[in-house]
Amino acid sequence: MISIEGLSKIFTSNNSKTTAVENLDLRIEEGDIFGVIGYSGAGKSTFVRLLNRLEEPSGGRITINNEDITAMTTSQLRIARQDIGMIFQHFNLLWSRTVEDNIAFPLEIAGLSKAKRQRRVQELIDLVGLSGKEKAYPSQLSGGQKQRVGIARALANKPKVLLCDEATSALDPETTNAILDLLVDINKQLGLTIILITHEMHVIRKICKHVAVMEKGKVVEQGEVMDVFLHPRQDVTKKFVSQVMGSGEEDEDMESITEAYTEGRILRLHFIGETTNQSLISQLSKNYDVDINILQGKITQTQAGAYGNLIVQVAGAELQEVLKFIEEKASVEMEVIQHAK
């Protein structure tokens, strides 16, 4: 477990002070994939760099598995850092070393024998899917492959925690998804705790279990990803959620929908969690004498299941039975938008 209490960082330069992180408290459970999201300047990078003391805190305490990182001497910290891997937006690879030599680098520093290094490097290359690229140089790799090298290198000493500083921000959407899938695999296979900072809600939605939203150096909202998606409280959180789900402005179309579809009833179905897997729509149209017309909607997948809204038109002889079934039996929330004339 990672516990952060009253963490602060104040940068002082030329008589000016910037509070990058202010009195921040967080608890991150072992094995979690914990996302920290915020706009540029919110203090995310500083926060993540404080965790392994790449930045020295101005105040507060960080403990990782009951070890007080903030109280460590430089030599204690050097050993503790072997348990904290880190990957970066621009990969930070050694350009004059091959893939295998980049991955071997932290093992050399840790003093492993050549034979042990070679064995471990091969395991890591297999783990991150880089077989065949052992002898390539970073300049010969795609962005996604470079980040795979970064991940393998970060995992070389079998850390318990992996810090990801905007690790997918330099990648295209498809490569981002592949790297995020790899992080989920690693989290499952190795039980590693992942702390990931990003300005993209898509990243949080896809792989995180918990999220903290940062603004002006503070955590302004936090919780399970699904809860934060469903009930964003702060304006900044609402903006991030709208990156994935739209702003809700699409509801302005409701008027044209209700004018165009006058038969039966128009329903807004709100799916939360695994309920989307119930195949509600096909169940209804198979079991009842109704026609169901999907008019609008957005369903998205999170680590805790799928959620979102569907706007449907239901018409036919057994309309009332369908409304009763959804209300009483299905675990979706239903709102009848319009009683058609």
Ligand X SMILES: Nc1ncnc2c1ncn2[C@@H]1O[C@H](COP(=O)(O)OP(=O)(O)OP(=O)(O)O)[C@@H](O)[C@H]1O
Does position 45 interact with ligand X (CB under 6 A)? The reply is yes
Q: How far apart are CA 254 and CA 113, in angstroms?
A: 68
Burial of 189 (0-12, 13-18, 19+ CB in 10 A): exposed
Instruction: CB nearer to ligand X: give 199 or 238.
Output: 199
Among 2, 4, 7, 20, binds ligand X (CB under 6 A): 20
CA within 13 Å, CB half, 268: 14
Instruction: CB nearer to ligand X: give 41 or 129.
Output: 41
Does position 13 interact with ligand X (CB under 6 A)? The reply is yes
Does position 96 interact with ligand X (CB under 6 A)? The reply is no
Does position 287 interact with ligand X (CB under 6 A)? The reply is no
Does position 43 interact with ligand X (CB under 6 A)? The reply is yes
Which of the ranges 39-47, 57-65, 224-232, 318-326 carries the binding residues for ligand X, by CB under 6 A?
Answer: 39-47
Does position 35 interact with ligand X (CB under 6 A)? The reply is no
Does position 168 interact with ligand X (CB under 6 A)? The reply is no
Task: Tell me the longest C-alpha to C-alpha distance in the chain.
Answer: 81
Among 2, 44, 201, 203, binds ligand X (CB under 6 A): 44
Please give the span between the terminal C-alpha atoms of the chain, in angstroms, as a whole number.
59
Helices (H) and strands (E) in the chain, counts: 12, 14
Does position 46 interact with ligand X (CB under 6 A)? The reply is yes
Given a contact cutoff of 8 angstroms between Cβ atoms, the answer to whether 234 and 223 are in contact is no
The CA dihedral of 44, 48, 51, 55, to the nearest 10 degrees, is -80
Instruction: CB nearer to ligand X: give 20 or 312.
Output: 20
Among 15, 40, 66, 113, binds ligand X (CB under 6 A): 40
Site for ligand X in 173-232 (CB under 6 A): 199
Instruction: CB nearer to ligand X: give 196 or 314.
Output: 196
Does position 145 interact with ligand X (CB under 6 A)? The reply is no
Instruction: CB nearer to ligand X: give 88 or 271.
Output: 88
Pick from 263, 262, 251, 246: which is nearest to 299 by CA? 246
Which parts of this chain interact with ligand X (CB under 6 A)? 11, 13, 18, 20, 38, 40-46, 199
